Every structure is written in structure tokens, then in C-alpha cells.
Structure 1
Amino acid sequence: MRIALINENSQAEKNGLIYRSLKKVADTKGYEVDNYGMYSAEDENTLTYVQNGILAAILLNSGAADYVVTGCGTGEGAMLALNSFPGVICGHVCDPSDGYMFAQINDGNAVSLPFAKGFGWGAELNLEYIFEKLFSEQSGQGYPRERVVPEQRNKKVLDVVRENNFKNLLTCLKGLDQELVASSLKGDQFKELFFVNCRDESIRSYVRELLGE
């Protein structure tokens, strides 16, 4: 699994701490972690939580990432932004049990964490415990286990509803201000990480044209 970490501007100074906590857990699973920034509050290219949603959608729909870890001060804005796009199911995760149950019941591909609210002494421990539970086993197995059949059925129904209600990602992106989209993709390591891992040629071509490649 390839996990992408994305931080927005208000919590950018915590990127290193979040990355280390995520990578510590991912390494035990043999997962890869790509850090898309922001890397510090001084980064020249800033990201809002709305831009987090744009970037996450491009990464997930292109196959450049299998999972996205993001957040903002409360985690709510980033969650809403990510869930505004097709191909993204983002949960709001505050503690380890949230992480475990979101993975097992909702079987999503992204989480948004509150990186300001309640983020005090022992915050790095809470992050590690969340990531441990989030990636502890194959997702979508149900919780409690005897609920697996109706939960998997509901997830399939949700997938059908979302497929009906959402447009193709490129249609969505092209309907937005193109400078807003482009500014979401100008992080220091975006090109290095994205183009080598992207598996969708139509999205790759769109991004190249958008960035003037």
C-alpha cells in the first residue's frame, strides 16, 4: 500500500511529527509513505484544506496513492473537502477506535485528523495508536464481525449511490478554477512523487498540461 500524507497551512509545522508517526507504523506493514507536504509553515507553496481535497482526489483516482492521511485544525474541513470528489471516501478520525471502526465498517481510502483540537501532551502517541488500528488488518471485515454482511451490503449500496451522483474526476477538475487546481499541485516533491506512481494516463496528461510540462 502507498499512503500519501497531506498537510494544510494551519498545521504545517506538525508535518514532521505526523510523518514520523505514520511511517513508524507503515514500516511495520511494509507500506510506503509519500509526504506531499506542506512541510513547514514557511513553505512557499501553501495548501488550504480545500486544496487538500483536490490533491487527494488526484492522487487516489490516478493510483498514485492507495490511501490518504490528511487533516486540519478540527479535521472537519479537510474531511468535507475530500468527500466532495468521486473516488474518495474520507472518515473523520479522532482516536484509535475511530480509526479501527472506520476501516472495518466503512472501508474508506482516506482519513482526516484534528491536528489542533486536543493535540497536546502525548499527541504523537495518539497518532501512532490511530495509525496502528487504522492499518491493523484488512479493511471492510465488519465491526462487530457478526455485522459484516449488512455492513458490506450497505457499503456496496453507498458505492452505487456515489457513482450515480458524482461526475468523472476530470470533469470535476476542469469545472474548477484551473489556477486553484494547479496551485494544489506545486509542492516541492509533487512531480517527483506523482509522475513515477501515477497509473492513469488521462489524469497524468491533464496534470502535465496544467503544470506546463
Structure 2
Amino acid sequence: MTATKRIVLSSDHAAIELRQAVANHIAAQGWDVVDIGPTTPESTHYPLHGKAAAQSVASGDCQLGIVLCGTGQGIMMAANKVPGIRCGVCSDAFSARMIRQHNDANMLSIGARVVGEGQALDIVDAFLTAEFEGGRHATRVDMIEA
């Protein structure tokens, strides 16, 4: 795993603008942002983008990942197909904090048609500042991984 704070972002066509806002927000906090697109509004397939981002996290190239699509659900499902990925879709900051603290999530998914930019940035901040608590939660994460 890289020593720098490195995060991958990806989306489908429905979430390009929100993804770019999130990327700028995270970069301003000192993260090295790897934005793997897309950059044009033509219809695209969220499973491809979710998988690509998840592979960057699973390989250790990036510590964390954020993926976005219309609801956040489809791209989250695609990311979770990659071994070692624990991605949760969140539309509130409390859930984003909890998926890190209790589930050791290494990816976050957001629905661009569900939350606005301000709420999305709050969700991202909660996700990025939370830390895994371990303890009884580690046992449960191990069960998920098994």
C-alpha cells in the first residue's frame, strides 16, 4: 500500500459533475486524487467504472475509493464483486462514518440523483475522517471476508 493519502474516484455519466466536485474537495484536503472518469456525458456502464475503481483499491494502489452513479446502488454492487472490497452506499454522514468505524469500508458509494453537492461533501468528510474501531467489529469484518 502506498504511504501517501491516495484515493480513486469513478462514476458513470449520471454523476460526472458531482464526482468532479468531490474530487476538488478531497484534493483541497491534501489527498492525491486518481480520477478515472468518465469525462464526457455519453451513456456509460457503471459496472465497468465500479470494478476499475475497486481494483485500484484492492491492489493497494489507492487506500480508499469513492464511486458514484445515479443512485449509488449499482456501482456499489459492481465494486463489491472485487475481492477485498467493502463498499457501502450512503446518503447521510452518520452512515458514512459507521461504515468506516464498524465495517472497515474501503470504498464509499454516493447517488448523484439522491443527494445534493453539499450533502455529498458532508458524507465524504465523514467517511474520510472516521477510523476503523477494530475489536468486536474486526471479528465481524473477518466473517464478511470469509
* 3-state SS in 2 of match to 1:71: strand
Letter in 2 for 1:10: A
Q: Does residue 101 of structure 1 match 2:98?
A: yes
How many pairs align?
142
Q: 1:140 aligns with which of 105, 109, 132?
A: 132
More displaced 10-residue stretch of structure 1: 94-103 or 127-136: 127-136
User: Structure 1 stretches of 5 or more lacking a match?
Assistant: 142-147, 162-213
Q: Are 1:60 and 1:88, in contact at CA under 8 Å, matched by a contact in 2?
A: yes
- CA gap 1:23/1:126 in 2 versus in 1, 3 angstroms: farther
Letter in 2 for 1:128: L
Distance 1:87 1:47 in 2: 25
List, as ranges, runs of 4+ consecutive aligned residues in structure 1 with deviation greater than 6 Å: none
CA displacement at 1:75 relative to structure 2: 0.7
Once the two structures are superposed, what CA deviation does each residue of 1:82-114 show, in whole Å capped at 9, x if it has no partner? 111212111111111111011101001111101
Once the two structures are superposed, what CA deviation does each residue of 1:45-103 show, in whole Å capped at 9, x if it has no partner? x6421102320232123222111100211111011111112121111111111110111
Q: 1:22 aligns with which of 13, 23, 26?
A: 26
* 3-state SS in 2 of match to 1:17: helix
* 3-state SS in 2 of match to 1:56: helix
**Larger Cα Rg: Structure 1 or Structure 2?**
1
User: Structure 2 stretches of 5 or more lacking a match?
Assistant: none
Q: Within 5 A, what are the aligned runs for 1:4-15?
A: 4-15=8-19
Alignment RMSD (CA, Å): 1.9
Identity of aligned residues (%): 25
Distance 2:122 2:11 in 1: 19
TM (norm. structure 1) is 0.61
Higher strand share: 2
